[in-house]
Amino acid sequence: QTAEVGVIGMAVMGSNLARNMARKGFRVAIYNRTASRTNEVVAKHGDEGTFLPFHDLANFVTSLERPRRIVMMVKAGRGTDAVIKEITPLLQPGDVLVDGGNAYFGDTRRREAEIRPTGIHYVGTGISGGEVGALEGPSIMPGGSTESYEAIGPVLEKISAHVDGEPCCAWMGTDGAGHFVKMVHNGIEYADMQFIGEAHALLSAAGLSNAEAADVFESWNHGDLNSYLVEITSRVLRAKDPRSTVTDLLDVIRDEAGMKGTGTWTVQTALELGVDVSTISAAVSARSVSSAVPLRKIGQQALTGPQRIITVEDRQAFIDDVRDALWSAKVVAYAQGLDEIRTAAAEYHWEVDMGQVASIWRAGCIIRARLLQRIKDEYASGDLTTLLEAPSVKAELARCQQAWRRVVARAVEAGVPVPGFSSALSYYDQVRAPRLNAALTQGLRDLFGAHTYRRVDDEGSWHVNWSGDGREVRAD
């Protein structure tokens, strides 16, 4: 019996993906460096479909129908490189090797370029949804040659999440495009979570208990803010400490956020591309500050300021304002993330369809949200330079922006840190301003470094002879 698809790596992600494939009717060859893990999958889940277990990579490869379709789900970095080294001599031109791990897109570009001359298709694929998603239907972002998608696309589409019959899986572009889109997905996830944290901090400052805040998030989840993260926020806010029946879980969790690095990659890459992802940057930095224990200890002792209490006369009106601020900031994070993808696509010659990106994030992944349907629809009616210009988005922002300003102002007055909400609002005001403070920057640069400036009323580059006669000279 031949296998239709193979999965390498039987840790939590790989085994769940293989089970998902088997449940969907594919005959799945499975292999893991340590044989016991492969045996365990067959012993525990062998009745879910057709698994062909192998303890030898060459036999695993031989069992597959050609062109071979192989998905690697191994430890990102050295694990991936080790498997590639071992398997490529066993493969033939036309075979498709998918890396479903969390690879850095630059590594994927390098690996794809190294493998391309062999005729093997290397497909860097972002997979989001964690272990439950891998089993029940993740959001899948494959990048690679168009031929490779013809071979592997149908399998990936079948095992992905679906919305109204449409798969949450689509070809994202060549080489690193899939992993790039996944990276930005994670960056937006960071921003989304930071905004939720700020909304909760504001509700707390206004006197709401965690349980009351949980009710607020639950009600928001029935409206435009409907999303997985808002949904689980109310669950976490409502949870009691498993060691006690009275204390809230939130109050016993250390206030130090961890991270694994994809948010940092998103920001670093955006800096290199010259794109502003200030909301994601604020979210990454907020996690860093939260974990800087000595700094915070000193700050608490040395620095004075208001005591984070917001006195509200109309509680519901304040809650509604926070809702509008949360929605607006979230839109800005998506606008910035999509701008990063659009800019990278131009830089790396990827044909990324922004509507498709929004479409495949609608289910299966961590940032799944009602907003993504709106984004998909807006891109379907025409290309956009920024999401903020989309008719329904700009109309809603126009409605929300006064509330957003009130929330940021109240937060600043009360000393509640809102780096996410305020950086999002600054971006909004920056991109709509007819003039920023860049003219002065250019003037200063010309004075101290003869860096020249361009004029509003003439072509070319100009320089003032600051230390001499003060005359303007053409500099190009």
CB of residue 77 vs ligand NDP: minimum separation in angstroms? Answer: 8
Nearer to ligand NDP (CB atom), residue 107 or residue 446? 107
Work out the number of other CB atoms within 10 angstroms of the CB of residue 470. Answer: 8
Q: Which stretch binds ligand NDP (CB under 6 A): 39-47, 123-131, 242-250, 279-287?
A: 123-131
Q: Binding of ligand NDP at residue 173 (CB under 6 A)?
A: no
**Closest by Cα among 41, 162, 179, 32 to 100:** 179
Among 2, 24, 25, 34, binds ligand NDP (CB under 6 A): 34
CB of residue 164 vs ligand NDP: minimum separation in angstroms? Answer: 24
Q: How far is the C-alpha of 123 from the C-alpha of 279, rounded, in Å?
A: 30
Using DSSP's 3-state secondary structure scheme, residue 212 falls into: helix
Nearer to ligand NDP (CB atom), residue 250 or residue 365? 365
Nearer to ligand NDP (CB atom), residue 183 or residue 202? 183
CB of residue 346 vs ligand NDP: minimum separation in angstroms? Answer: 27
Peptide bond just before 242 cis, omega within 30 deg: no
Q: Which stretch binds ligand NDP (CB under 6 A): 75-83, 209-217, 378-386, 462-470?
A: 75-83
Among 3, 5, 7, 13, binds ligand NDP (CB under 6 A): 13
Residue type, 213: A
Q: Binding of ligand NDP at residue 263 (CB under 6 A)?
A: no
The runs of H, that is alpha helices, within 46-121 are 57-62, 78-87, 105-115
Are the C-beta atoms of residues 192 and 226 closer than 8 Å to each other? no
Paired with 139 in beta bridges are 128
CB of residue 33 vs ligand NDP: minimum separation in angstroms? Answer: 3
CA dihedral 264, 265, 268, 270 (to 10 degrees): -110
Phi, psi angle pair for 259, to nearest 5°: -160, 155
Nearer to ligand NDP (CB atom), residue 186 or residue 356? 186
Q: Which of 157, 189, 198, 396 is catalytic?
A: 189
Nearer to ligand NDP (CB atom), residue 357 or residue 407? 357
Q: How far is the C-alpha of 286 from the C-alpha of 419, rounded, in Å?
A: 8
Work out the number of other CB atoms within 10 angstroms of the CB of residue 231. Answer: 16
Q: How far is the C-alpha of 94 from the C-alpha of 151, rounded, in Å?
A: 9
Among 46, 49, 130, 415, binds ligand NDP (CB under 6 A): 130
Q: Which stretch binds ligand NDP (CB under 6 A): 74-82, 237-245, 343-351, 424-432?
A: 74-82
- Pairing verdict, β 69-72 and 96-99: parallel
Nearer to ligand NDP (CB atom), residue 8 or residue 407? 8
- Pairing verdict, β 472-474 and 50-54: unpaired
Phi, psi angle pair for 156, to nearest 5°: -65, -40
Phi, psi angle pair for 3, to nearest 5°: -100, 150
Q: Binding of ligand NDP at residue 33 (CB under 6 A)?
A: yes
Q: Binding of ligand NDP at residue 14 (CB under 6 A)?
A: yes
Q: Which of 44, 85, 112, 182 is catalytic?
A: 182
Q: How far is the C-alpha of 100 from the C-alpha of 161, rounded, in Å?
A: 16
CB of residue 159 vs ligand NDP: minimum separation in angstroms? Answer: 13
Among 29, 83, 84, 168, binds ligand NDP (CB under 6 A): 83
Q: Residues 197 to 226: which contact ligand NDP by CB under 6 A?
A: none
Q: Binding of ligand NDP at residue 430 (CB under 6 A)?
A: no
Nearer to ligand NDP (CB atom), residue 179 or residue 376? 179
CB of residue 397 vs ligand NDP: minimum separation in angstroms? Answer: 31
Q: How far is the C-alpha of 122 from the C-alpha of 147, rounded, in Å?
A: 11
Q: How far is the C-alpha of 177 from the C-alpha of 185, rounded, in Å?
A: 12
Q: Binding of ligand NDP at residue 128 (CB under 6 A)?
A: yes
Among 76, 196, 319, 384, binds ligand NDP (CB under 6 A): 76
Axis-axis angle for helices 177-205, 391-414 (nearest 10)? 50
Among 7, 127, 193, 414, binds ligand NDP (CB under 6 A): 127
Q: Binding of ligand NDP at residue 233 (CB under 6 A)?
A: no
Q: Binding of ligand NDP at residue 38 (CB under 6 A)?
A: no
Q: How many residues bind ligand NDP (CB under 6 A)?
A: 24
Q: Binding of ligand NDP at residue 73 (CB under 6 A)?
A: yes
Catalytic status, residue 189: yes
Q: Measured on CA atoms in the order 88, 91, 96, 97, is the torsion positive or negative?
A: negative
Q: How far is the C-alpha of 113 from the C-alpha of 107, rounded, in Å?
A: 10
Catalytic status, residue 340: no
* Residues in contact with 316: Cβ distance below 8 Å, sequence separation at least 6, in sequence order: none
End-to-end CA distance of the chain, in Å? Answer: 71
Binding site for ligand NDP (CB under 6 A): 9-14, 32-34, 37, 73-76, 78-79, 82-83, 101-102, 127-130
Please list the active-site residues.
182, 189
